[in-house]
Amino acid sequence: EVQLVESGGGLVQPGGSLRLSCAASGFTFSSYWMHWVRQAPGKGLVWVSRINSDGSSTTYADSVKGRFTISRDNAKNTLYLQMNSLRAEDTAVYYCARERSWNDLQGRAFDIWGQGTMVTVSS
């Protein structure tokens, strides 16, 4: 079964750090770009970061740039998000997602999502 399973969420104080993990199974992890998307309570989906298939290229939302680091270990089929200097506004469910591309169409989309892990930043 193709799936993504996130872990590592929890309660952290402002200014603290947390590392999220996303374990992939059922597909060739090293062939896909991967993304993190977050959703604050009662709010919409917000893209956070992406990493290319071999880990050589990363991009971040302005709101997390310089504080969050995305990485991957293709040997372990695992995606990571290191979150430092956390703020109250980072409180959200964090999802990892696989991006699939359809070369014969103008298509690339997040076709597989994890179940999400909750991060709460509060004193």
Partner 1 sequence: DIQMTQSPSSLSASVGDRVTITCRASQSIGSYLNWYQQKPGKAPKLLIYAASSLQSGVPSRFSGSGSGSDFTLTISSLQPEDFATYYCQQSYSTPRTFGPGTKVDIK
Interface with partner 1 (CB under 8 A):
35, 37, 44-47, 50, 59, 61, 95, 99-100, 102, 105-111, 113-116
* Closest C-alpha among 82, 93, 92, 73 to residue 23: 73
Nearer residue to partner 1 within complex by CB, 27 or 99:
99
Q: Which residues, in sequence order, are bridge partners of residue 79?
A: 22, 72
Sign (positive or negative) of CA dihedral 75, 48, 116, 21: positive
- Cβ nearer to partner 1, comparing 62 with 75: 62
- Shortest Å distance, C-beta 79 to partner 1: 15
Max Cα–Cα distance, the chain, nearest Å: 50
Q: Phi, psi at residue 21, to the nearest 5°? A: -125, 155
Query: At closest approach, how far in Å is the CB of 80 from partner 1?
Result: 19
What one-letter code names the amino acid at 49?
S
CB of 10 to partner 1, least distance (A): 18
Least Å distance, CB 35 to partner 1, is 7
